[in-house]
Structure 1
Amino acid sequence: MTASDAVLGAVVREETGRIVAALTRAFGRFDIAEEAVAAAIEEALRDWRRGGVPPRPGAWLMTAARHNALDAVRRDARLRDRLALLEREPVPAVAGPDERLALIFGCCHPALSPEAQLALMLRAVVGMTTAQIARAMREPTATVGQRISRAKRKIATSGIPLRVPVGADRAARLDLVLTAISVMYDAAHLRDGADAATDRDVAEDALWLAAVVAYESAAAEAYGLHALLLFHRARDAARTAGGELVPLPAQERRLWDDPLIRRARDVLEQAARLRDPGRWQLHAAIAACHADATEAAATDWPQILVLYDMLLTFDRSPIVRLNRVVALAEVAGAQAALRETEALADELREDRLWHAVRAVLLRRTGDVAAADASDRAALALADNEAERRLLRSRLAGPA
């Protein structure tokens, strides 16, 4: 990576969403704006390597994107009658916080599939190329490109507004945005077919997006997600060793990033002051309990179980209930946790995590044969190579 590439990466992260929002406002077409900015980023990559970084890189990117948008209008016979007016207009003012937040909400509209929401947000707000998104999502570039194109067409033809919703609709839509960012962070870890290494660029982009949404929306749940991802990020250096996954209880806690943990606690306290509880804040509070423990044996499992019980009032998804089982095993024993796990069989039988948790509990009860069978079932469902090696290491016999 050249020095200009590093500068461009920072400028793209900070400016892409603002410029797309500003050009959408000026031209009235999200698809034209997004494609114009994507082309400008490609031009910057080429031109800045050759001629160096311009004095005002953000303004350079805006000007280049506006020229691209005008070229798109010239090519579109339906829009040519507006060309003279658009050419006379000054360069649009860079979008403010509300407009960038509106763009994020537009990309995560419920009319779009979750996969399309994530891909469109990565492209329009973060400025990732289609190839980069495809690598992050472990899908063919053509598939991701078609998904993004369909999503942009749907925004145009369905009149999906790029605005922050108000009233009762805001909380539900915000949760969609936060879920997409959480999925984005998860996509940087345990990638299909990959090893244990984290895609640090994707993880950092997710963390940055969480901060943008938190501080531009000032919503308690947005702060909650930001705190949660900070807690996770703080443990990142300890989650792998020599290419192998290290389970949380076995992690070397001296490798945890204490300044990042302190920042996560501050953000979580900022959320709590708003007195608007929700699932992301509770997830973050559970992560904080783990961060408080100087060693695995000092983990406050009763408190974590209480937090999971509170979380169930907001989210009764099978995965949340499965995660609660882990805390229950530490508080009430493996047999009690195993009964809860078996109750989730119909919903999670095709999920590798259910089989892996069940194997741990069966092994604790002394049923090694059944535990091995469950680990083998998890192994058959796992795609990440480091995770597969971890599961193999737990088997009493050959897989």
Structure 2
Amino acid sequence: MTAGAQDADKDDVASALDAVMRRDGGRLLSGLVSVLRNFQLAEDSLQDAVEAALLHWRRVGLPHSPTGWLMRAARRKALDRLRRAQNFNRKSPDIGRLYDMLAEPRTEEEEERDFFRDERLALIFTCCHPALDRKTSVALTLRSICGLKTEEVADAFLDTTDAMAQRLVRARHKIAKAGIAYQVPGPEDWRERLENVLAVVYLMFNEGYASSGEHLLRADLCAEAIRIARLLTTLAPDESEVEGLLALMLLHHARRDARLSADGSLATLEHQDRRLWRLDEITEGQRVIEEALKRGTPGPYQLQAAIAALHAEAPSFAETDWPQILALYDILAGRFSNPIFELNRIVALSFAKSPEQALAALEPLGRLLGGYQPFHAAHADLLMRTGKLSESALAFSIARDLSQNAAERDFLEGRLQDCRKRV
């Protein structure tokens, strides 16, 4: 075999391993944490297994069950780490039980079978414990449940990789030091963590829906967020905001096939082929949000889902019920202080009334959203629609430079060039 062929084989193995970890990394880690009851040990052991897989699979090829192989290898690596630990006390009942359990011989088939006992919901509640701040909870969930690399999580927060790595390490240490239980909490602690959990699940969905990197969409992350929301509805069937979040994600995800044009370029809502929208998911989303709103306690997820439902019902962009959407955004922005809600309200205002009114309302938001790419994209669009082409070109260039996604950058570059041609 030539050196070039060997390099190609190595690249194939690395790509296959990366795909397995992106798809199944969250389940693997949560399964390990459920056994080890030690977040850091589970993550270190899984990383050891990944490194071992890279070497072993390059020599002998991919195993029959890559996930089963990784879980078995990670259990063995955990056992090795326990053996090496200076403070290992074989007489301790807890550690002795763990040692005996990990020492049991297991086949790849057994690991694969147990792999389907999904423990990710318990891990999400661990990541969302009140002892951790919101940013840390989201970052830890994206890293642990979604399988994003540390540098990808850092990009999502506009942090350096080193700073994010340190934040994640501190979070794991805090979980261990505080003795945070790895479990879905009981009813007495449910509401305390639910807001954090919903925020994390929605941010997980958004990371898939507007992925950083080369791909516009990571459908696996979106599907995983929807799956977790479904689980939450079974745990809390009367929580309207859980239903609101599920409906919101279903209605957005239903448009995924239309978000790219035939040539691979980004298609905005105005230019999407609505025949590609998935009617089964739209129907389900509409049913879920209608049932939630009947309870008479509309929260932010329910209101956003109601807005998404109006978009889904419109036969075309021109026939969208913008006055009703604006009315819902007025409620949303008025009740919940959030500059993103206000930005979306202003965009709706531009279609319900006029871009001139929207542009005037947008200016004060610049102080709060100066580093937020969608603000500059909206600003650029409003400037173009009001004939301020030179200013629009500058805003488009800022939005392009702030974008974390290749397809989005290409789209904004196209808008920029179109704007410059009109000057």
Same-fold call, TM cutoff 0.5: yes
Aligned residue type for 2:85: D
CA drift at 1:184: 2.6
Find the counterpart in structure 1 of residue 203 from structure 2.
183
Superposition pairs of residues 326-365 of structure 1, within 5 angstroms: 326-365=347-386
CA drift at 1:369: 4.2
Q: Distance in 2 between matches of 1:354 and 1:213?
A: 32
Find the counterpart in structure 1 of residue 216 from structure 2.
197
Deviations 1:297-344 (A, max 9, x none): 111112211221222255221111010011122223223322321232
**Residues 257, 144 of structure 1: CA spacing in aligned structure 2 closer, same or farther, 3 A cutoff?**
same
Find the counterpart in structure 1 of residue 225 from structure 2.
206
Aligned residue type for 2:415: L
Find the counterpart in structure 2 of residue 16 from structure 1.
28
Superposition pairs of residues 154-303 of structure 1, within 5 angstroms: 154-164=174-184, 170-171=190-191, 173-191=193-211, 194-195=213-214, 197-218=216-237, 219-241=239-261, 242-272=263-293, 275-303=296-324
Find the counterpart in structure 1 of residue 415 from structure 2.
391
**Percent identity among equivalent residues?**
35
Find the counterpart in structure 1 of residue 340 from structure 2.
319
CA drift at 1:360: 2.8
Find the counterpart in structure 2 of residue 52 from structure 1.
64
Structure 2 unaligned spans of 5+? 1-11, 105-113
Give aligned pairs, total. 391
Task: Select 1:74's aligned residue among 66, 79, 83.
Answer: 83
| Alpha carbons 1:136, 1:188 under 8 Å: kept | no
Structure 1 unaligned spans of 5+? none
CA drift at 1:347: 1.6
The CA RMSD over aligned residues, in Å, is 4.2
Q: Distance in 2 between matches of 1:21 and 1:309?
A: 44
**Residues 196, 386 of structure 1: CA spacing in aligned structure 2 closer, same or farther, 3 A cutoff?**
farther
Aligned residue type for 1:240: L
Name the SS of the counterpart of 1:289 in structure 2: helix
Deviations 1:212-267 (A, max 9, x none): 44444443323322222222221122112223222211111112122222232233
TM-score (normalised: structure 2): 0.74
Q: Distance in 2 between matches of 1:284 and 1:50?
A: 43
CA drift at 1:141: 6.9
Deviations 1:8-45 (A, max 9, x none): 67993784365245314xxx433224444555677789
Find the counterpart in structure 1 of residue 40 from structure 2.
31
**Residues 7, 144 of structure 1: CA spacing in aligned structure 2 closer, same or farther, 3 A cutoff?**
closer
CA drift at 1:136: 8.0
